Amino acid sequence: MIDTHDATPCASGCITYRHLADCTDDHCSGCEPRWATDGLLCGRCHNRLATLLSGPNDPESIAGVCAWLADNLGQHLRSPSGKGEARPGGDSDGQFARVFNALSAAQIVLASWARDWADHSNLTGPSDTNPATVAAWLRPWLPTLCRWEPVAVMLDELADARRDAHTACPWRSQPRVCAGVACPHCHDTALVIPAGETDTHCRNCGLIVPERDYARWIAVLGAEAELGPELTRKEQSA
Ligand SMILES: [Zn+2]
Ligand SMILES: [Zn+2]
Ligand SMILES: [Zn+2]
């Protein structure tokens, strides 16, 4: 438990589904910030940044995204299932330009953050602009990067580049829908586990349940479902 008196909100501005003590808004779906635990970031944003900076084998890293886009450049586009399907309504020249632009944008955003960090820290930057090289150069600095004032902007820009890359040339399969499980906060059955993630998200109220808590909670629901009729019988016989 974090003592909220001394805690700093995550610089990314992320919030939880809980409320601050002075919240009086009936329509508020959550206003308590996630507290910074890793430098200026909360644990979740720290992990997002670590993923974005991981190696080309991680499909959710910038290096992995760039490798995927480069692979698909000028090719008949592959779908994540490996079937060579043309994108609906996409002329091949327009599609080439979209993939090319997303690839250059992702490379540029990563390389320019590395250059800014090198300038700020008086370091010699990465030896080339290859995304795998740049990410490998940045990775050891992750704990210090998390204490760098522009880190939230860096995280946003890298995540935007990944999102635009996914729009130009998708690689994720569909999110997993948690069918029949009601959100513990808003009670809507709108829970999904986005593809490539392990946390459960509510598409209605924005609640995020970490993987471990979700597993524990499903186990409790399962136990309640099993014990329910048993308890009722006992009550009746009592
Ligand atoms: Zn609130
Ligand atoms: Zn955060
Ligand atoms: Zn919800």
Q: Which domain does 195 fall in, by range?
A: 176-237
Q: What is the pLDDT of residue 229?
A: 47
- The alpha carbon torsion through 164, 155, 172, 106 (nearest 10 deg) reads 40
Q: What is the pLDDT of residue 235?
A: 42
CA of 208 to the centre of ligand 3 (A): 9
Q: Which of 168, 188, 211 is the last residue of a domain?
A: 168
Q: Which ligand is nearest to the CA of 15?
A: 2
Contact by Cβ (8 Å): 147, 39: yes
Q: What is the pLDDT of residue 222?
A: 78
Only one residue has tokens 């043309």, namely 86
Cα separation, 67 vs 75, whole angstroms: 14
Instruction: Tell me, yes or no, whether 87 lies in a domain.
Output: yes
CA distances from 93 to 65, 69, 108, 139, 196 (A): 21, 15, 22, 36, 29
Does 102 lie in the same domain as 205? Answer: no
Q: Which of 146, 168, 190 is the last residue of a domain?
A: 168
Does 141 lie in the same domain as 76? Answer: yes
> What residues sit around ligand 3, an ion, with C-beta below 5 angstroms?
183, 185-186, 202, 204-205, 207
For the chain (length 238 residues), average pLDDT per consecutive 10?
Answer: 70 86 86 93 94 95 96 66 49 86 98 98 95 98 98 97 93 83 87 80 85 80 68 42
Instruction: Tell me, yes or no, whether 85 lies in a domain.
Output: yes
> What residues sit around ligand 1, an ion, with C-beta below 5 angstroms?
19, 23, 28, 31
Cα separation, 139 vs 5, whole angstroms: 32
Does 223 lie in the same domain as 113? Answer: no
Instruction: Tell me, yes or no, whether 121 lies in a domain.
Output: yes
Does 144 lie in the same domain as 48? Answer: yes
Does 193 lie in the same domain as 209? Answer: yes
For the entire predicted model, the pTM comes to 0.73
Does 200 lie in the same domain as 216? Answer: yes
Give the total number of structural domains in the chain.
Answer: 2
CA of 20 to the centre of ligand 1 (A): 6
> What residues sit around ligand 2, an ion, with C-beta below 5 angstroms?
10, 12, 14, 34, 42, 45
Q: What is the pLDDT of residue 145?
A: 98
CA of 186 to the centre of ligand 2 (A): 21
CA of 15 to the centre of ligand 2 (A): 8
Does 163 lie in the same domain as 48? Answer: yes
CA of 82 to the centre of ligand 3 (A): 34
Q: Which ligand is nearest to the CA of 44?
A: 2
